[in-house]
Structure 1
């Protein structure tokens, strides 16, 4: 048995943050992961996805300016894009492990499971830790209907050697929309099937409507209020069977992807042996991100049932909270700043703060500015029809409490609004600022 001040299970961004920060303060730290070091974002999510999107951005921009100075619209070479993406992915695990070792952190490769309140087993090695951090992230939600095993995952999509000619995404969340936009711009026929009345339920409904319309204009089939009941494998592909308005419906494609959400990846940890309480949202934690049942254990990121959104920057934030509490004792509570979220479609959609619906539910008196603005200069110079905003202002304090955008550059503009909400900058002060022009940020004053 080896003894450590801290054992970190998971090598993604939250686990990495905890491990390196604690090691820098002299704690003896071990980290383990059953998968290559780096976590979902670096290896199987945000980063590789954004690299692939880069190629489709070029094609989209050229299509919009075709005949307006651009003569040739480039095709996306899938194999070359994937090879470029893989350069980043392949370099990451070794780079991360080298960093751990540089900080005198012991590295293990294997799944961990609890064998007591303060000990875990990795393969045949037993480690004892004064503190244990669970940062195992999330995994795709299992499809329990017949043939659910035929559906590929987001990880599979990001590693496709060839792009299927047609595909179906089950679920109407951000993964489905982002990958559907990529695939369609690369020439595939794409269908999204969602059981709800509207997709992307956590985003502002009016802005989502703009994205839904843009998605359909792109040629993606968006099927709502349809419950998938099975997948059948055929000689030339797959048939997805569903129920819509009491009738059976079928959809066929060369490949089917499970984009029905993600769940905490904690079921294999044998939490009961470690006296760690959990629910379907993750490890049950208090305001210090400490297990409510076992004070030796903390949890961060997608593995924790915290108040944070399942986003990489939030996982990093929670990693810093936990590291501080391990080093200094529980002195730092998780008080989340505004958490901007982006759907990296083309056009991208971004959101931060309260939606109009949630703001009104609180009883807050709000002023709502909402408008589609394809006639604004920034939309016209980029020749795009999709540019809209909704800003929500607390009339009592005169400050912004929510912003929801769709259009070019909104993945950057949303950060201005996040700062404004975080620091409670009066809207009148935001309007008095001088912004560089012509930039996307210069539209902020007109959105208020």
Structure 2
């Protein structure tokens, strides 16, 4: 069997893996990178980017339906075929462009998931490969569900391959992905059922806002079923029969298609990490602040598969940068979790940054909570929005803003204003003195600091 040696071998071609590989190659190290799927990573090919292309059409439908009778005579008809063709313009060239970019730096490419044979040796494409350093940036993969008939479930990747909008669909799991695609399909005319084993959707977000979002989506036809456990799926002639248990009773729902959106887990199953003494758990590859594995010091991990990461592309790029630099110069860059805003791209958007109310109560002796319904404010009324709400949290002693949670059509942008404010330790008084454009959603942020 052929044997080859590299200074650095990277597993995963998303933004984290690419960033680390490029830094190493530009510093004169011999580098190889492997991926079992098309080069370019989840976000660019089957995640964030194409998802946003699709969602904008649902947003258009939602906005025009709100204004029907107020100037809009007819809600537009969406051509799903052309929508899918459009999103493929953003994804089709990614693998080829990524490969060309990497090979231009003399990085060798392998199109298979490697398997560790020992601490410094892997097997890939029928070759034995050794390396001084390994970088694991393999990302996340959909969590496997093990009930009878689970093989009939689709995953979020499959939505980008749908040839038409189904008449009915069921989602199992109401996290980011499930809620966003639930919103997409329901807005485009699909009858959607959402089943979750928990008591609420989007468990990482503020319940005050989540409850309003769920109520709004329910009014628009989504059937939410909480505290329910799916027990089986049976394939019928035209539909899937989904059986679930709720409050001790067996119930069923039928759908044309069903999606597993129950969450994602570290993509390490094929790597045989035990052969290389690489410590890992459900959070991913266990790493220190230099992103070095605890038990195999020649192994780094970055991006979603790292125990110190969150599934967010900017954070993956940052970790890839740190790993690349630490390989070039040992322990030259240290990772500290930055303040990271998060958004669920439903309509309206649900966004958060900093501490939740519960987290803030545990951290500070006293907190001030500003929360309210802004649906009667000008910016909501001018577009006939029924949903616009917020919750802002401050440390009472210092008056510093420590958390912000927004539910609005512009929350994905406005949350960045609060991220900047929290990063700069701004007080509520300092924030209210800022001058923003008017009338804008950004200007509304200053009005949120009022006790209800």
Which deviations, in whole Å up to 9, do the C-alpha atoms of 1:204-228 show, x marking residues without a partner? Answer: 1111111111111211111111111
Which deviations, in whole Å up to 9, do the C-alpha atoms of 1:424-445 show, x marking residues without a partner? Answer: 1232221111111122211121
- Asked if 1:120 is matched to 2:122, the reply is yes
- Please say if residues 351 and 403 of structure 1, whose CA atoms lie closer than 8 Å, have aligned partners that are also in contact: yes
Q: Aligned-pair distance for 1:300?
A: 1.3
Whole-Å separation in 2 of the counterparts to 1:217 and 1:24 = 55
From 172, 183, 186, the counterpart of 1:184 = 186
Task: Give the alignment's TM-score, normalised by structure 2.
Answer: 0.97
Whole-Å separation in 2 of the counterparts to 1:319 and 1:401 = 28
- Please say if residues 337 and 422 of structure 1, whose CA atoms lie closer than 8 Å, have aligned partners that are also in contact: no
Match of 1:429 in 2: 430
Which deviations, in whole Å up to 9, do the C-alpha atoms of 1:389-418 show, x marking residues without a partner? Answer: 000111222211111011111000011111
Q: Aligned-pair distance for 1:361?
A: 2.0
Match of 1:331 in 2: 332
Q: Aligned-pair distance for 1:259?
A: 0.7
Specify the SS of the correspondent of 1:145.
coil
User: Which runs of 5 or more residues in structure 1 are unaligned?
Assistant: none
Whole-Å separation in 2 of the counterparts to 1:301 and 1:137 = 6
Match of 1:11 in 2: 13
Whole-Å separation in 1 of the counterparts to 2:10 and 2:229 = 39
Which deviations, in whole Å up to 9, do the C-alpha atoms of 1:373-402 show, x marking residues without a partner? Answer: 101111111210110000011122221111
Q: Aligned-pair distance for 1:239?
A: 0.9
Specify the SS of the correspondent of 1:305.
coil
Specify the SS of the correspondent of 1:131.
strand
Superposition pairs of residues 1-40 of structure 1, within 5 angstroms = 1-40=3-42
Which deviations, in whole Å up to 9, do the C-alpha atoms of 1:137-183 show, x marking residues without a partner? Answer: 11111010111111111111221112211010011111111001110
Which deviations, in whole Å up to 9, do the C-alpha atoms of 1:322-367 show, x marking residues without a partner? Answer: 1221122113221111111110101110011110011112244211
Match of 1:414 in 2: 415
More deviation, 99-108/136-145: 99-108
Match of 2:443 in 1: 442
Specify the SS of the correspondent of 2:394.
strand
Whole-Å separation in 1 of the counterparts to 2:29 and 2:427 = 44
- Please say if residues 364 and 395 of structure 2, whose CA atoms lie closer than 8 Å, have aligned partners that are also in contact: no
Match of 2:368 in 1: 367
Specify the SS of the correspondent of 2:93.
helix
More deviation, 132-141/18-27: 18-27
- Please say if residues 78 and 186 of structure 1, whose CA atoms lie closer than 8 Å, have aligned partners that are also in contact: no
Match of 1:402 in 2: 403
Q: Aligned-pair distance for 1:127?
A: 2.1
Which deviations, in whole Å up to 9, do the C-alpha atoms of 1:28-56 show, x marking residues without a partner? Answer: 21111110011111111111110001111
Match of 2:264 in 1: 262
Match of 1:378 in 2: 379
- Please say if residues 3 and 128 of structure 1, whose CA atoms lie closer than 8 Å, have aligned partners that are also in contact: yes
- Please say if residues 75 and 186 of structure 1, whose CA atoms lie closer than 8 Å, have aligned partners that are also in contact: no
Which deviations, in whole Å up to 9, do the C-alpha atoms of 1:53-89 show, x marking residues without a partner? Answer: 1111111111111122222211221111111111111
Superposition pairs of residues 271-282 of structure 1, within 5 angstroms = 271-282=273-284
Whole-Å separation in 2 of the counterparts to 1:186 and 1:355 = 33
Whole-Å separation in 1 of the counterparts to 2:276 and 2:390 = 48
- Please say if residues 117 and 123 of structure 2, whose CA atoms lie closer than 8 Å, have aligned partners that are also in contact: yes
Specify the SS of the correspondent of 1:8.
strand
Specify the SS of the correspondent of 2:198.
coil
- Asked if 1:173 is matched to 2:175, the reply is yes
Which deviations, in whole Å up to 9, do the C-alpha atoms of 1:290-338 show, x marking residues without a partner? Answer: 10000000111221211x3221111112112212211221132211111
Specify the SS of the correspondent of 1:309.
coil
Whole-Å separation in 1 of the counterparts to 2:390 and 2:130 = 52
Specify the SS of the correspondent of 2:422.
helix
Task: Give the alignment's TM-score, normalised by structure 1.
Answer: 0.97
- Please say if residues 11 and 35 of structure 2, whose CA atoms lie closer than 8 Å, have aligned partners that are also in contact: yes
Superposition pairs of residues 41-440 of structure 1, within 5 angstroms = 41-306=43-308, 308-440=309-441
- Please say if residues 110 and 122 of structure 1, whose CA atoms lie closer than 8 Å, have aligned partners that are also in contact: yes
User: Which runs of 5 or more residues in structure 2 are unaligned?
Assistant: none
Specify the SS of the correspondent of 1:269.
coil
Whole-Å separation in 2 of the counterparts to 1:173 and 1:442 = 30
- Please say if residues 390 and 406 of structure 2, whose CA atoms lie closer than 8 Å, have aligned partners that are also in contact: yes
- Please say if residues 61 and 188 of structure 2, whose CA atoms lie closer than 8 Å, have aligned partners that are also in contact: no
